[in-house]
Homo-oligomer: A and B are copies of this chain.
Amino acid sequence: MSTRIAKQQPVMRKRPRQARSRATVETILQAGARILSDEGWAGFTTNKVADLAGVSIGSLYQYFPDKLSLVDAIRQRHLDDCLAVMRKSKAKGLPPVQFVTSLVHAMIAAHSIYPGLHRVLLDEAPSSDDYRNPNSAFEIEYLGYYAKAVAIYRNHQPGRTDQTAALIISDAIDGVIHNAARRGMLGNPTVQSELIRLVSLYLEDAGDSAIAQAE
C-alpha cells in the first residue's frame, strides 16, 4: 500500500550535486507551483517561472530539459505530498466519523497552500507520464487507500465493489474541495462538517440498502 511512488527517472537533465544546485532547483519548483496555482496551465510560461524564481531562463533549462519535464517534476512532488498526508490518517481503530474528519482536514490543509495547484496538475497540464491511468502507482495507492477504509468500515473482505466506492468517495471529496476553493469557501466550517457528513453517511451504510434495488 505505501509503495513508494516515483521510481521512474526524475526527468532532469542533470541531477543537482551541489547544495547551490539543489537550492536552485527547489526555488524553480516552488516558483512553478505558485504560477501554476495562480495562473493555470495557460499562464505557465518558462520565462515567468525563471523570473519569479530569480534565475535566468538558461539556468532553468540546465535542470529541466523542457517545459513538460518541469511540470512533471512539480506534479510528482505534489502527488508525493498528497500521499504522505493521506498516510497519516489511518482508518483502523477509529470510528468512521473521526477517520473522515481527520482525512478531510488533511486534504483541505494540502489544498490550502496552493489552492489551484491540484486541479491544474490533474486536469489542465499535459504530462509525459500516465500518472492518471488507473494502473499508475499513484492511482493504485490513492484509491487503494480509500478501498481499504471502505472494507474496514463495511466490515467485509476487500472486493471489486470497494474500488468503486473508493472512487466515489475520493472524487466527491475532490469535487467539494475544489469548488469550495474556487468560491473562496475552503475555510468555511459548515462546508467542512457537511462534507464530513456526506462521506461518513456513505461509509457507514452497509451497501445493502434498498437504494441499489431502486435502480
In this complex, which of A168, A170, A179, A205 has the most chain B Cβ atoms within 10 angstroms of its Cβ? Answer: A168
How far apart are A102's CB and chain B's nearest CB, in angstroms?
11
Decide yes or no whether A148 CB sits under 8 A from chain B: no
How far apart are A134's CB and chain B's nearest CB, in angstroms?
6
| Interface residues contributed by chain A, number (CB under 8 Å) | 51
Decide yes or no whether A190 CB sits under 8 A from chain B: yes
How far apart are A129's CB and chain B's nearest CB, in angstroms?
15
Q: Pick the interface stretch among A1-9, A25-33, A83-91, A195-203.
A: A195-203
Taken together as a complex, chains A and B put the C-alpha atoms of A210 and B204 apart, in Å, by: 13
**Contact yes or no, A191 B214, CB < 8 A:** no
Please give, as numbers and ranges, the residues of chain B lying within 8 Å of A171 by CB-CB distance.
175-176, 178-180
In this complex, which of A134, A198, A200 has the most chain B Cβ atoms within 10 angstroms of its Cβ? Answer: A198
Q: Is the interface of A mostly helix, strand, loop or mixed?
A: helix
Residue in B closest to A215 when the chains form the complex, CB atoms: B193
Q: A172-B175, A202-B198 are in contact. Are A211 and B182 (CB under 8 A)?
A: no
**Contact yes or no, B215 A211, CB < 8 A:** no
How far apart are A213's CB and chain B's nearest CB, in angstroms?
10
Number of copies: 4
Please give, as numbers and ranges, the residues of chain B lying within 8 Å of A134 by CB-CB distance.
183
Q: A175-B176, A175-B178, A190-B164 are in contact. Are A124 and B40 (CB under 8 A)?
A: yes
**Contact yes or no, A180 B195, CB < 8 A:** no
| Binary flags per residue of A180-191, CB closer than 8 Å to B gives 1, else 0 | 101101001111
**Contact yes or no, B191 A164, CB < 8 A:** yes
Q: Per a CB cutoff under 8 Å, which of B132, B167, B193, B212 touches A197?
A: B212
Taken together as a complex, chains A and B put the C-alpha atoms of A132 and B176 apart, in Å, by: 15
**Contact yes or no, A211 B190, CB < 8 A:** no
Please give, as numbers and ranges, the residues of chain B lying within 8 Å of A198 by CB-CB distance.
168, 172, 198, 202
Taken together as a complex, chains A and B put the C-alpha atoms of A189 and B165 apart, in Å, by: 13
Besides the contacts A123-B123, A193-B212, what 9 more A-B pairs have beta carbons closer than 8 Å?
A: A40-B124, A167-B194, A171-B176, A171-B179, A172-B172, A172-B175, A172-B176, A192-B215, A193-B211
